[in-house]
Structure 1
Amino acid sequence: MQPPLTTERLIVRDWTTSDADVQAALAVYGRPEVTEWLTPVISNVTDLAAMRAVVHSWTESQPNLVPPTGRWAMQRRSDDAVIGGLVLRMLPPYAQDLELTWQLRPEVWGHGYATEAATALLHWAFTYDIDEVFGLARPDNTRAIATAERIGMEWVGETTKYYDTALQVYRIRQGDLPERPRSIETED
């Protein structure tokens, strides 16, 4: 995403292979309390070398993805700390359904960062030719469900269609997106 998106408190930007981004990614994806909720199910990344390889693959693939799909870092403006990540990707069987995911370091849960960043990302994503975006959550992932609802997503049912596990499905269409806050803009 060029240029990055900014909100009142956050910058949504491409991941880099810098030591700071790799360490920040490990602080998110190296935590079992984060990775246990990911779909498809993955193990947490256990060390810096493995995380470096993952971030490298993200940065290598990003230019080849068709917008609005991608993977971005969520950086706090007050201290430049990367506190999480956002993903827009095609759901299996990779034909038409677009999924939004968000992951945060556990110590910043409950501050509205995921809602703020995801809303900005959705405003940008809907400038492309897409009709809707889905959010998936395991039935007992109350945090993800609450975030999906705060973003403005509506519950549309439960399915095992995507990852062979029962998931709650939430959807947002452009007309359902909350009004864009004045603090959300694209940096020049």
Structure 2
Amino acid sequence: MDAVSGDQIELMGARLRLRAPTERDAGFARDMYSRAEVTRFLGTHDWTETTHEEALARIRRYRERFGPGTGAWLIETLETGSSAGFALMKPIPFSAHVKDESAEDIEIGWHLHPDAWGSGYATEAARLLIAHARRAGHRELAAVTNPENLASQRVAARIGMIHQGPSNRYYDTTCELFTLDLSAPPQPTHR
């Protein structure tokens, strides 16, 4: 179910609420993105964000991603109201060699705090985003993972995405590519 919160869309699940991040979430973002075990599979270089200013900048970037059928949401548990991570659905940047400027591919992704790993929250959040993407009229979603990020690859498979193999279409690097055709009826998925 979608609820409008200001100019943002809030997504509600059985255990989770996905909402627009605010500056009050900067402490959580700093804690999460300062951990090498979180950032090691995000991007093409080693990085962490350890300052409050970096966390605020990330929150601001995430808030700017909201558009028709896109966004970056904070994942909150309904039971405790605690933050678990971030879920993203946004235009994905093509690699420099890709010249298909008529297309805009939409990426789905999830970044979870280590305290939330193994809880099924990434899967539930991704399913909420998929339902939102269908309502927004997106035709396909892409997910890319570092080749070594087996946990995210399992989430992609669990939500019904098809593994396309290694690809260098996005981010100027080779990633494992997963796609989901949203024009097809939803398939039953397993936890």
Which runs of structure 2 are paired with 1:1-188 in the superposition (5 Å)?
2-3=4-5, 4-18=10-24, 21-41=25-45, 43-59=47-63, 61-62=64-65, 65-93=66-94, 95-174=103-182, 175=184, 177-178=186-187
CA distance in 2, matches of 1:136, 1:176: 22
Of the structure 1 ranges 89-98 and 135-144, higher mean CA displacement relative to structure 2 is found in 89-98
SS at match of 2:166: strand
Equivalent residues of 1:159, 1:169 under 8 A apart: yes
Equivalent residues of 2:31, 2:50 under 8 A apart: no
Runs of at least 4 residues of structure 1 off by over 6 A?
A: none
SS at match of 2:125: helix
CA distance in 2, matches of 1:117, 1:110: 13
Amino acid at match of 2:90: R
How large is the RMSD of aligned CA atoms in angstroms? 2.0
Equivalent residues of 1:99, 1:135 under 8 A apart: yes
More relative contact order, 1 or 2 (CA 8 Å, 6+ apart)? 1
Of the structure 1 ranges 47-56 and 29-38, higher mean CA displacement relative to structure 2 is found in 47-56
1:177 Cα deviation from its structure 2 partner: 3.4
* Matched residue count: 175
1:7-50: CA deviations, max 9, x gaps?
A: 111001111112xx111112222211111111354621112232
Of the structure 1 ranges 99-108 and 27-36, higher mean CA displacement relative to structure 2 is found in 27-36
Aligned CA distance change for structure 1 residues 179 and 105 (closer, same or farther; 3 Å): same
Q: Kindly, what percent of the aligned residue pairs are identical?
A: 29
1:178 Cα deviation from its structure 2 partner: 4.1
Amino acid at match of 1:26: R
TM-score scaled by length of structure 2: 0.83
CA distance in 2, matches of 1:57, 1:23: 15
Amino acid at match of 1:92: P
TM-score scaled by length of structure 1: 0.85
CA distance in 1, matches of 2:151, 2:185: 21
1:83 Cα deviation from its structure 2 partner: 0.9
List runs of 5+ in structure 1 lacking aligned partners. 181-188
